[in-house]
Structure 1
Amino acid sequence: MITAKKSRQAIVIFALTALIILTIVIGMGLGPASLSYTRLLPTIVGNGTFPESFVLFDVRLPRIVITLLAGMALAIAGTILQGITRNDLADPGIIGINAGAGLGIALFFLFMPIDAGSFAYALPVVGFASAFVTALLIYLFSYSKLHGLQPVRLVLVGVGFSMALSGAMIVLISSAEQQKVDFIAQWLAGNIWGTDWPFILALIPWILIILPLTLYMANRLNVLALSEEVGVGIGVQLNRDRIILLIAAVAIAAAAVSVAGGISFVGLMAPHLARALVGARHQLVIPVAALIGGWLLLLADTIGRNITTADGLPAGIIVAFIGAPYFLYLLLKK
């Protein structure tokens, strides 16, 4: 049975990788600047003209890579959160983690003087710090000594925090300079803005650390996804493991939204699709969910930036068109 599921996982991973490569190729050739598909390969190997190289390596490719990585990070965070809370509605955007990171980033952007060269690397740290405080408060308000972590209460508390923090951010930017207001408004809409190589270098270490940690703790995540009684019965230290995994989810989600904007629903949909394809074991779900999340956000951004408007549509809005109805479906189902 396990061998069959691993074989299915290998097939799914191959298919998703092919989809991602196809979407990357399509994305590299689409856009307002001219770069035909026949010129992609020569430009990649260094035989393109200066305008072609500039469009590919300085404009499109960094955006594609950061979108792919951010989608993967949000999907990993969503998988962890759904496991430790035993709630299919958990998502970094829905339960307030993104809003917590966003408020910290807005404060940092508005009031902290910093060298431009360090800006990309400081953002994930700032986002993590503010998101961690938010997640800790949500956890404390959702936890009961009698019943442990209450999944439904966690979602309700998280939605409340998300609304309150978003309102605080609007109040915060109401008296700011127009240029800074425009940036934060784009961030809130889920506009992929960190489209330069330093932002990629700032995001990659978080994924390289947290993805292996999550895979290492996949068995414990399987236990946490069952029930408090089962975990206690087999001797698992529930609170310790849950806190470690919660910190991992907050860190990787905050790193993603700090460079990609306030994007919701990727972390909600990707784990569900992964479980439908390969089953419930997190050893199988996590890699598949990461690939699905990366592809979903990459596809949304490719569609959004090529819609016939002046600046296109933010990827967060395109994802929300799909994710919001899916969230309502899950809400009614559960």
Structure 2
Amino acid sequence: MAMAAKTPASRHFRLWLGLSLVLLAAMFYIHLRTGFNHLSDEVLWQVLLGRGTEAQNLTVFDFRMVRSVLAVLIGSGLAMAGSIFQTISRNELASPSLLGVNAGAGLLVMLLIDQKSLDASLGFWEIPVAAVLGGTMAALAIYGLAYKKGRTLSPYTLVLTGISLTAGIHALQMLLVVRLDPQKFHVVNAWIIGSISGNTWAHVWTLLPVVLVLGLLLWSRSQDLNLLSLTDETAIGLGLPLNRARFLYLMVAVVLAACCVAIGGNIGFVGLICPHIARRLAGADFFRLLPLTAILGALLVLSADWVARVIIAPDEMLLGIVVSLIGAPYFLYILVRTGK
């Protein structure tokens, strides 16, 4: 860690942290201004200071701000989960989707919607609970298949098992899609691609403690996460119970990602590219890496949702499409760079 402190990334950490916070605050304000009904800066500030009309308050606080806050929470949660997955698997291309979290969540949500009659409305908790259960079960299945008693869990075996099981889950999803009627398919399609429109403050208050508590827990265990980045022999020699630590932090990351996916849908690439960028800016020390990763994730999802709302206005694109358009080229860049 003493060597890491001398790197340029560590020396400029405060600069990058401050700059990213300024950009996030600016993007949050721009996001609040954007919508079907245009609000000037003067009107928006009046509303934020409590002097708006009832209609203006409804527009800003109950529609736009809910979406803005959820974008921040989902982006930061997915990014932090991605950083843990990349550390445990020792793979820069790892993300929540790699260990089946997104696929498992999507499969259980599709089964739930498929079993519901068209006349029955889904309860507030049904899709989030199904998504968390599906993501957790998929990750546990992958861990169980990769784990061999009496041996140290191999990150490479974990990755290969995750890729295989995720592919199988996607095949089951395709079989379910063809039997869905058009109305159910529209609901499933929006969730699978990823969208945060139509949510309420109840979703915010549900997700906020999860992201905050689990994020602080991971940050407080930065030393353990740093040890997980080392070779197995070094980590064990420094006193880390390797298999137990990998399982514990894997489950924390799975729950964190699954809760974000439960409310925002299957938003990809956030957990892949944000930890990668943060690592290049802040270095590998999790005490610095994790906060910057969270801020970059929030900035990415907030910016992508703003683009989704303005690019074909007055209509809007689904958030997941915009994130994929940003993330796919960066994924190829990482692939080419790591292959050299």
What TM-score do you get using the length of structure 1 for normalisation? Answer: 0.90
Alignment identity in percent?
Answer: 34
The answer to whether 1:308 aligns with 2:312 is: yes
Equivalences for 1:1-334 in 2 at 5 Å?
2=5, 8-111=12-115, 119-143=123-147, 148-193=152-197, 195-308=199-312, 311-332=315-336, 333-334=338-339
Given that 2:152 and 2:243 are in contact with CA atoms closer than 8 Å, whether structure 1 keeps it comes out as no
Letter matched to residue 330 of structure 1:
I
Q: Per the alignment, in what secondary structure is the counterpart of residue 94 of structure 2?
A: coil
CA distance in 2, matches of 1:231, 1:212: 23
Letter matched to residue 89 of structure 2:
T
Given that 2:88 and 2:155 are in contact with CA atoms closer than 8 Å, whether structure 1 keeps it comes out as no
Given that 2:89 and 2:159 are in contact with CA atoms closer than 8 Å, whether structure 1 keeps it comes out as no
CA distance in 2, matches of 1:63, 1:326: 26
CA distance in 1, matches of 2:160, 2:197: 30
Moved more, 207-216 or 122-131: 122-131
Q: Per the alignment, in what secondary structure is the counterpart of residue 305 of structure 1?
A: helix
Given that 2:94 and 2:272 are in contact with CA atoms closer than 8 Å, whether structure 1 keeps it comes out as yes
- Give ranges in structure 2 of 5+ residues lacking alignment: none
Query: Residue by residue, what CA displacement relative to the aligned partner does 1:24-80 show, whole Å, maximum 9, x if unpaired?
Result: 111111222222222110011222223322221122111111111000000110011
CA distance in 2, matches of 1:12, 1:134: 36
Would the alpha carbon gap of residues 135 and 216 (structure 1) be closer, same or farther in structure 2, given more than 3 Å must change? same
CA distance in 2, matches of 1:120, 1:252: 19
CA distance in 2, matches of 1:328, 1:151: 22
CA distance in 2, matches of 1:294, 1:120: 24
Letter matched to residue 46 of structure 1:
G
CA distance in 1, matches of 2:99, 2:91: 11
Given that 2:153 and 2:243 are in contact with CA atoms closer than 8 Å, whether structure 1 keeps it comes out as no
How far has the Cα of 1:195 moved from its partner? Answer: 2.2
Moved more, 273-282 or 194-203: 194-203
The number of residues matched between the two structures is 332
Moved more, 9-18 or 260-269: 9-18
Letter matched to residue 78 of structure 2:
L
Query: Residue by residue, what CA displacement relative to the aligned partner does 1:161-212 show, whole Å, maximum 9, x if unpaired?
Result: 3333233223224333433221110111122245211111111121122112
Letter matched to residue 313 of structure 1:
M
- Give ranges in structure 1 of 5+ residues lacking alignment: none
Would the alpha carbon gap of residues 121 and 3 (structure 1) be closer, same or farther in structure 2, given more than 3 Å must change? farther
CA distance in 1, matches of 2:226, 2:259: 25
What TM-score do you get using the length of structure 2 for normalisation? Answer: 0.89
Moved more, 289-298 or 231-240: 231-240
CA distance in 1, matches of 2:16, 2:302: 18
